[in-house]
Structures are given as C-alpha cells and as structure tokens.
Structure 1
Amino acid sequence: MTSVVVFGAGGRAGRRITAAARARGLRVTPVVRDPRRHPDVADAVAGDVTDAASVAAVAAGHDVAVSAVYTADLDPARLYGDGTLSLLDGLTRAGVGRLLVVGLATTLEGPDGLKVYEGAGFPAAYRPFSLGRVAELAALEGGPVDWVLFTPTMQLVDEPGSGAYELFDDRRHVDGTTTYADLAAAMLDEVVSPAYHRTQLTVRSPYHGRGEGEQTAGDRP
C-alpha cells in the first residue's frame, strides 16, 4: 500500500488531499504544527517543515510526501525558502525521495509575459508571499529530492470536482478555475502513477477559461 505524509494537513488543500487519499485506500499521515488546533483532522501528528529533524521523524516509513503548508504566523521567506530546505533535508534523512507541492498562481506568467506578482497593479503587501514561493521553487530545483509542483489557476475554489482535470507543463496558464477537489485528484494520481519529475505543472478544472485551439499537456480522467 502506498503511504503518504501530508504536511499542512489542516489547511484547505491539505484537508482535501488527506481525505481524498484516504478515500483511495492510501495510508496517510496528516501533519500539522499543533494537533490540538485541528481536532477535526483525524490522527493528525505534530510536525514542523522548518525543522529537518521534525520532518525526518514524521516522514520516516512513507513513500511520498505532500506539502500544502501555509501559515500567516511565519515570514514567507522562512516558511517557503528556508522551510523548503529543511523539508528537503528531513525527507532525505527519512529516505523519502518523492515530494509533491501545492504551488501559488501568482508565480505563473500572465498575458503580458510577466509573472503575476511582477505586474504593476499587484498589491505590494502580497508580493513577499509570492517571493517566498519563488524561493521555494529555487530550493526544489537545487535539492536532492524528486519533486513536482502543482500550481492552481488564479481562481482556486471550494466546489465539487469534475472527475477530470487539465495539466499544463508550462507556466502561462494562469486564467481559469481550479477546484480543490481537482487539485487533490491531480496530485494523488501522481502519487500512485508517477509521470512527471522535477517540474512545475498548472492544474485547471475543465471547461473553465479554455481558449479556442488550446491543447493540454496531459489530461488524466
């Protein structure tokens, strides 16, 4: 049985990934910083992605790690830059060689060719968070663990999944809608049937924002 450790299991994406993994019959360990704050996350364990020893302890014995971490309590540079380095270190210590990460749409390119966070109208207060995610990608690219970064479109919504999704292997498909359910499905399909390695993908729910003649890099029903 494939085993998955989910960091950030108390957040919106992490909860859906955890629930969907369990529905598929996978062995799942949900990880949160403080299980007492998440009594509704069954069997949650304490772990901190900014602490390599903590990561190693909770990740040991798993086949794949998923990172869906978010908190407003930490500086984004620490959480996603330094934190990703610690996460990779801990996974390496634990012998977990595969990491799937929930990305951020503002790091994708808009129609003008600029990344969304680089646009003139982008709120300055949100830019540090986007820059933290840029540092995350740099850490992944230079790290020892095989990874895939799954980035939703700008409209990430809490709606029922379609049962299908679109994957794009470039960083320009920022428009459209992605449901949390479809994002979880895309990531779990990659857990059980690995097809991508050390790359960033955009996940989009079908029939939302698709331009005429646009092709997908790999649809998985």
Structure 2
Amino acid sequence: MTSLVVFGAGGRAGRRITAGARERGLRVTPVVRDPARHTDVEGAVAGDVTDADSVAAVAAGHDVAVSAIYTADIDATKLYGDGTRALLDGLARAGVGRLLVVGVASTLDGPDGVKVYDSADFPDAYRPFSLARAAEVAELERGPVDWVLFTPTMQLVDEPGTGSYAITADGRLVDGTTTYADLAVAMLDEAVSPKHHRAQLTVRSQTAF
C-alpha cells in the first residue's frame, strides 16, 4: 500500500489530497507548520519544509511526498527556493525517492513560447511570486529526487470535482478550468500508479464551467 506524507496539508489542495488518500485506503501523514492552527486536519503533525532535518524526520517511512505548500507569512523566495532545496535534501535523507508538487500556471509557456510571468500583460504585483515558483522548478530539476509538478490552469477553482481530467506534458499553458478536487485526483492517481518522471504537467478539468 502506497504511503504519503503531505506537506501543506492545511491548505485547499493539501486537504483534498489528504482526504482523497484516506478515501483510497492509503496511509497518509498530513504535515502543517502548527497543528494547533489546524485542529480540523485529522492526524496533523508539525513539520517545516524550510528545515531539512524536520523534513527528514516526518518523511521517514513514506513512499511518496506531496508538496502543496503556501503561506503569506514567509517570503516566497525563501519558501520556494530555499525551502525546495531543504525539502529535497530532507526527502533524500529519509529515503523518499518521489515528490509530487502543486504548481502554478504562471510558470508555463504562453502561446508565443514566452513564460506567462514574462508576458506583457502579466500583472507586476504577481511577478515576484511567480519568479519564486520558477526558482522552485529549477531546484527540482537540479535535485536528487524524482519529481512531478502538477500545474493547474489559470482558472483554479474551489468547486466539486468533475470526475474527469486531462493532462498535457508539453509545458504550455492550456485554456480551461481546474478544480482543486480534480487536481487532487490527478496527483493521487500518479502517486499510486506512476507514469511521469521529472516532468511538469498541466491538469485541466474535463467538464466546462
């Protein structure tokens, strides 16, 4: 039986991944920075992705790690740059060889081949965050752990799952909508039946909204 450790289990994606894993009968350990702030996340344990020792301690004994991290309390460059290095280091030490990551659409290529965050109409206010996420991708590519980055479309919505999703693997932005629920299903399908390695995927819900 596949076992998962989910970092960022208190967020919208992390909660759905954790719940979906339990529905499938998988062993899952949800990790948050402060369990006292997430009393509704059953079995949550404390962990810090920016600390390799903390990562190694909570990840030991699991087959697959999931990163669904986000917080406004930590600078994005530290969280996704330094944090990704620490996460990969800790996972390698713990013997966890596979990492599935929730990404963002702005790191994909637009229709003209230019990164979305570099396009002329991309809002300046969001560019620093997107650059931090691009640094995350670079750290994954350099790191020792087999990874898959699951990138939703620009329209990521908190709606019920459609029950069907489509995946593309060419690194390009696609039109459409992605629900958190369908994103979680896609990641769990990959966790239990690996089909991709060291790749960035785009996940789109099949049913239109």
How does the TM-score come out when normalised to structure 2?
0.97
After TM superposition, the structure 1 stretch with the greater mean CA deviation from structure 2, 169-178 or 11-20, is: 169-178
1:47-105 Cα distance to aligned partner (Å, 9 max, x none): 00000000000000000000000001111111001100000000011000000000001
Map of 2:49 onto structure 1: 49
Pair 1:156 & 2:156 matched: yes
How far did 1:208 drift? 3.8
Would you say the 8 A contact 2:105–2:173 is kept in 1?
Answer: no
Letter in 1 for 2:38: H
Q: Which runs of 4+ in 1 moved over 4 A?
A: none
Map of 1:197 onto structure 2: 197
Map of 1:90 onto structure 2: 90
Map of 1:33 onto structure 2: 33
After TM superposition, the structure 1 stretch with the greater mean CA deviation from structure 2, 133-142 or 155-164, is: 155-164
How far did 1:125 drift? 1.7
Letter in 2 for 1:184: A
Map residues 44-83 of structure 1 onto 2, 5 A cutoff.
Answer: 44-83=44-83
Map residues 171-186 of structure 1 onto 2, 5 A cutoff.
Answer: 171-186=171-186
Map of 2:134 onto structure 1: 134
1:83-141 Cα distance to aligned partner (Å, 9 max, x none): 00000000011000000000001111222332221122222121111001101000000
Letter in 1 for 2:47: G
Would you say the 8 A contact 1:32–1:44 is kept in 2?
Answer: yes
Would you say the 8 A contact 1:109–1:174 is kept in 2?
Answer: no
Map of 2:121 onto structure 1: 121
1:25-62 Cα distance to aligned partner (Å, 9 max, x none): 00000000000111110110000000000000000000
Separation (CA, whole Å) in 1 of partners of 2:208 and 2:173? 11
Coordinate RMSD, CA, aligned: 1.1
Structure 2, gaps ≥5 residues long = none
Separation (CA, whole Å) in 2 of partners of 1:36 and 1:198? 35
Structure 1, gaps ≥5 residues long = 210-221
